[in-house]
Amino acid sequence: MPTIVSVDDSTVPGEGSSRLLLLVSSDNKHIVVEEDIMSRSRFISKQVEGFEATSQRHAILLPFSSFVLNKVIEYCSHYRGYYLLEDDPDAAPPGRSPVREWDQEFLDVDRNMLLRIIKAAHYLEIKSLVGSCARAIADMIRGKTTEEMREILGVENDFTPEEEHSPSSKCTG
Amino acid sequence: MVDQGGKFESPGRQRIESSAVHTLGPNTHVPMVDVVPSPPHIVQQTLLSAFPVELLVRIFAHLSKEDLLHQTIAPYAYLFRTLRWFVVAHVCRQWRAVAIDSPTLWQDVDFAMGPTWADVMLSRARTLPVTIHKSFIPVIVDRSFGHVAPLKHWEIFPRREIDLLKAHLFHVERLLLKGPPSGNCHRPPCCRLNSSQVTLPGYTPFS
């Protein structure tokens, strides 16, 4: 859970129909964003529901950097007002859907950034972004050897030699 | 509207710099707050911890679905069904545990790998609904010599597979039976059958 700090209500201006949220990244950068934009995040929506019980506005402190947070906001801004099936909590889990072209370009980032984005999306409960990142990561490792997978995703081989050749793991046909 | 400067000042308060400030007019004041930094352990955990299990499952699910799709459309792929995605189980302990212990990854069970692996896949799916893929392949292919030989009708759907199917009927959601491509069949089990339908009128799982 992030730490939530109270903000004096009088200092927060209302602009248009959407209220403003103050998000604070782990590197202490303050990012003000319209609530509408972040409504795709179930985590933020739940936080905001909690705010409504009080008259105070709040800032939400998040455990990832402003660089990552800005990318997530960019994604949410792009799809502002769009219905995405993956984000509908009442919809059945989507099957295999085509890759959205914009998502492909958006996620054309280095490995570390991609991993940070998917973790942030997971934390913020943005299912559509998690899905797109997961597909991008799957594309990175598809058809690769185990050694290449370790290298691509920075995973350490922690098997003992016996475990590595365990018969229970061999089901690749 | 984005304030490109990213700097806001309020009398009597410290200046707060922001790398990106969205949706604010040029004269808008950002609320000044006493920011309590995230506890270091949270930040560190996010960067250094192993990948969350749910995310690995999502990634592996993409790999397994692509596998299945490829092996459904590729010519003769039904003869050589494999679980290529399962190579992830050789990467590290966590990945192996996730690949084996996540029932959602085993909901498509292909009998083309033989009853032993079908049994493994059905067990790993636990009680989740499964889709059974059964290809009726009336020939056996010797991979070493490229020899093709007809199968006896009882070899096409062996008793062991039927027993396995019966044991797991309670969680079979879809049963996909597939014949060989036309022209490649030496002795087709059902020469004229090209579709079948099973209906259970008035039945719902909870009735």
Q: How far is CA A170 from CA A149, A162, A163, A165, in A?
A: 17, 13, 11, 8
Place of tokens 């927060």: A12
ipTM higher than the 0.85 cut: no
Q: What is the mean pLDDT of residues A26-31?
A: 93
Of A119, A155, A172, the CB nearest to B91: A155
Residue of B62, B64, B93, B124 for testing the chain A interface, max A β-carbons within 10 Å: B62
Contact B38 A26 (CB under 8 A): yes
Question: Would you say residue A107 has pLDDT above 60?
Answer: yes
Residues in chain A: 173
* pLDDT at position A149: 92
* pLDDT at position B65: 84
CATH code for the domain defined by A4-156: 3.30.710.10
Residue of B2, B17, B46, B51 for testing the chain A interface, max A β-carbons within 10 Å: B46
Residue of A29, A42, A144 for testing the chain B interface, max B β-carbons within 10 Å: A29
Contact B18 A31 (CB under 8 A): yes
The domain segmentation of chain A, as residue ranges, is 4-156
Q: Which of residues 9-28 of A touch B (CB under 8 A)?
A: 11-13, 15, 18, 20, 22, 24, 26, 28
Of B29, B42, B66, the CB nearest to A142: B66
Contact B29 A11 (CB under 8 A): yes
* pLDDT at position B83: 81
Per the model's pLDDT, the better-predicted residue between A70 and A85 turns out to be: A70
How far from the centroid of its chain's Cα atoms is residue A152's Cα?
20
**Residue A63, C-beta contacts closer than 8 angstroms, at least 6 positions apart:** A2, A26, A123, B38, B42, B43, B45, B46
Contact B17 A131 (CB under 8 A): no
Average pLDDT per consecutive 10 residues, chain B (207 residues; last block may be shorter): 35 33 43 44 42 91 80 54 84 92 93 86 95 73 57 68 91 82 53 67 58
Q: Does B113 touch chain A (CB under 8 A)?
A: yes
Of B38, B63, B69, the CB nearest to A63: B38
The residue among B154, B152, B147, B151 whose CA lies nearest residue B139 is: B151
CB-count burial class (<10 Å; 0-12, 13-18, 19+) for B161: middle
Question: Nearest residue of B to residue A152 by CA position?
Answer: B91
| A54 min Cα distance to partner chain B (Å) | 17
The domain segmentation of chain B, as residue ranges, is 1-36, 51-178
Per the model's pLDDT, the better-predicted residue between A104 and B77 turns out to be: A104
Instruction: Note the pLDDT tens digit of each residue in A146-158.
Output: 999 998 888 889 9
**Residue A167 banded pLDDT, cuts 50, 70, 90:** low
